[in-house]
């Protein structure tokens, strides 16, 4: 059974081919894929807060650095095969299944790392004729635009719409905080405090009203995301806005999402570029169309629910909840010759979301404090050169939950307060 071609469902095959190439390049260079062994080594003990799909990794004994390294290697080999177009659909099945495991390991560090979209788009491409153009195994006669390319192209556009639209909806449900300078200022302060090597743009420090303008622009952009579904001919406009949105987020609050915005390539107007020698276009297959629709519905349901901890379906960060001026953090104190000295945070962690999520969990933020988890983490952290040097002659190590000032004017000031958690031999 097939679906006939129509102007609405018709699309140029080059859009899917371009998405295939870009997605595979992203997978090949993505830090979450290359860092799978480290993610397995840094995984915290299983928690009841984890979805069943992630708890199953522990139960099956799959949280293993060696296995993770092999799986990441297989994923990258398959991604390279799909990139050059050697049986790309089969290769993308391997990529999608492998990413379920490899990127799932990255969710075990204390908070969700939103790389879900790589699984979604690999699966969508595996269900599409993405290898009919710009592939070594492509047909000799290039097919014309048709429903075989339109259905998956529309599905991919809908997936992108879900990524942005539902966070915008949850911002609106939470209230009008994104239209008030105070709430936005505190959120910006949090992100600046987390990225201690990121210099806050002076214009936003000096003119809070610019934050209100930026917040309104973000909200408008997110709520306008469904335009990529209802107005296919205007998708290129959203693609430009999407890239601009992420460049602005990287500049202002150091949120990069570099594995997401390149996928905007599927929204570009390939239909306006001339082609030569186009052959007949195959119709869309009903089964593949149903599976693509099911994928979109699953992503949409997760977005509407607002759940951000699911795997492989979740709502992307909403930043809808107000944040206080003080941010919880883990502090490590080294005692040597009876003198207590705070170990600089730069010595034992990186200014990355995954590291912040892990240290919050270790400090008992959002869950119970677990000494065994701290001990397992410390055994790895103490091997870092700066930490090892600081531990020479140490008698004791103390762990504290502190509340640091996020106001840039107070950067480097002592914490507002500290709660002792645990002390042990170095």
Average pLDDT over residues 338-361: 91
Tokens of 203: 């214009």
pLDDT at 290 over 90: yes
CB 315 within 8 A of CB 307: yes
Burial class (CB in 10 A: 0-12, 13-18, 19+), 84: middle
pLDDT in tens, 4-60: 444 567 899 999 999 999 999 999 999 999 999 999 999 988 888 899 999 999 999
Contact 26, 145 (CB under 8 A): no
What is the rounded CA–CA span in Å between residue 136 and residue 180?
53
Give the chain's mean pLDDT.
92
DSSP lists the bridge partners of residue 397 as: 334, 424
Q: Report the range of poorest mean pLDDT among 25-34, 352-361, 383-392.
A: 352-361
**Tens-digit pLDDT profile for residues 224-278:** 999 999 888 889 999 999 999 999 999 999 998 999 999 999 999 988 877 755 7
Supply the pLDDT for residue 203: 86
Instruction: Write out the two tokens for 424.
Output: 């042990």
Asked whether residue 395 carries a pLDDT value surpassing 70, the answer given is: yes
- Tokens describing residue 386: 């700066």
Q: Give the confidence band of 3 by pLDDT, cuts at 50, 70, 90.
A: very low
pLDDT over threshold 90, residue 282 = no
Look at residue 368 in the predicted model and tell me its pLDDT: 86
Statement: residue 388 has pLDDT above 70 = yes
N residues, the chain: 426
User: Looking at the predicted structure, is the pLDDT value of residue 188 above 70?
Assistant: yes
pTM, full prediction? 0.94
> pLDDT for 119-178, tens place per residue?
999 999 999 999 999 999 999 888 888 899 999 999 999 999 999 999 999 999 998 889
**Residue-level pLDDT at 4:** 42
pLDDT (average), residues 292-297: 98
Note the pLDDT of residue 7: 56
Q: What pLDDT is recorded for position 411?
A: 82
CA dist 99 and 153 (Å) reads: 21
SS3 for the chain is CEECCCCCCCECHHHHHHHHHHHHHHHHHCHHHHCHHHHHHCCCCCCCCCCHHHHHHHHCCCCCHHHHHHHHHHHHHHHHHHHHCCCHHHHHHHHHHHHHHHHHHHHHCCCCCCCHHHHHHHHHHHCCCCCCCCCCCCCCCCECCEHHHHHHHHHHHHHHHHHHHHHHHHHHHHCCHHHCHHHHHHHHHHHHHHCCCCCCCHHHHHCCHHHHHHHHHHHHHHHCCCHHHHCHHHHHHHHHHHHHHHHHHHHHHCCCCCCCHHHHHHHCCHHHCCCCCCECCCCEEHHHHHHHHHHHHHHHHHHHHCCCCCCCCCCCCCCCCCCCCEEEEEEEEEEECCEEEECCHHHHCCCCHHHHHHHHHHCCCCCCCCHHHHHHHHHHHCCCHHHHHHCCCCCEEEEEEEEEECCHHHCCCCCCEEEEEEEECC
Average pLDDT estimate for 196-223: 88
Contact 421, 399 (CB under 8 A): yes
> Tell me, what's the pLDDT at 8?
63
State how far the Cα of 312 lies from the Cα of 75, in Å rounded to an integer. 17
State how far the Cα of 130 lies from the Cα of 242, in Å rounded to an integer.
23
């Amino acid at each position: 059974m097939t679906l006939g071609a129509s102007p609405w469902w018709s699309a140029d095959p080059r859009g899917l081919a371009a998405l295939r190439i870009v997605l595979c390049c992203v997978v090949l260079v993505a830090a979450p894929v290359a860092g799978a062994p480290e993610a397995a080594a840094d995984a915290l003990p299983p928690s009841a807060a984890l979805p069943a799909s992630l708890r199953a990794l522990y139960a099956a004994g799959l949280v293993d650095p060696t296995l993770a390294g092999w799986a990441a290697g297989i994923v990258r080999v398959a991604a390279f095969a799909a990139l050059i177009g050697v049986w790309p659909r089969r290769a993308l099945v391997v990529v999608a299944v492998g990413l379920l495991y490899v990127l799932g390991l990255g969710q075990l560090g204390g908070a969700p790392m939103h790389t879900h979209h790589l699984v979604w788009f690999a699966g969508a491409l595996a269900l599409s004729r993405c290898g009919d153009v710009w592939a070594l195994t492509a047909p000799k006669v290039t097919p014309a635009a048709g429903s075989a390319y339109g259905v998956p192209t529309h599905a991919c556009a809908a997936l992108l719409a879900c990524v942005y639209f539902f966070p915008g909806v949850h911002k609106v449900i939470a209230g009008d905080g994104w239209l008030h300078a105070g709430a936005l200022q505190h959120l910006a302060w949090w992100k600046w405090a987390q990225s201690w090597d990121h210099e806050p743009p002076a214009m936003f420090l000096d003119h809070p009203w610019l934050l209100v303008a930026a917040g309104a622009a973000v909200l408008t952009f997110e709520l306008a995301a469904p335009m990529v579904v209802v107005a296919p001919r205007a998708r290129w406009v959203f693609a430009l806005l999407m890239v601009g949105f992420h460049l602005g987020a990287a500049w202002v609050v150091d949120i990069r999402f570099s594995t997401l915005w390149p996928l905007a390539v599927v929204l570009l107007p390939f239909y306006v570029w001339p082609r030569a020698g186009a052959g007949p276009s195959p119709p869309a297959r009903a089964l593949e169309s149903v599976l693509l629709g099911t994928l979109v519905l699953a992503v949409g349901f997760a977005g509407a629910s607002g759940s951000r901890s699911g795997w492989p379906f979740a709502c992307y960060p909403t930043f809808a909840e107000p944040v206080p001026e003080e941010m919880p953090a883990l502090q490590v104190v080294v005692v040597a010759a009876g003198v207590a000295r705070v170990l600089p945070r730069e010595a034992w962690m990186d200014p990355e979301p995954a590291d912040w999520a892990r240290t919050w969990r270790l400090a008992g933020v959002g869950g119970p404090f677990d000494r065994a988890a701290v001990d397992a983490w410390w055994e790895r952290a103490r091997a870092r050169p700066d930490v090892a040097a600081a531990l020479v002659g140490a008698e004791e190590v103390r762990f504290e939950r502190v509340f640091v000032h996020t106001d840039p004017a107070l950067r480097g000031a002592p914490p507002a307060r500290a709660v002792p958690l645990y002390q042990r031999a170095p």
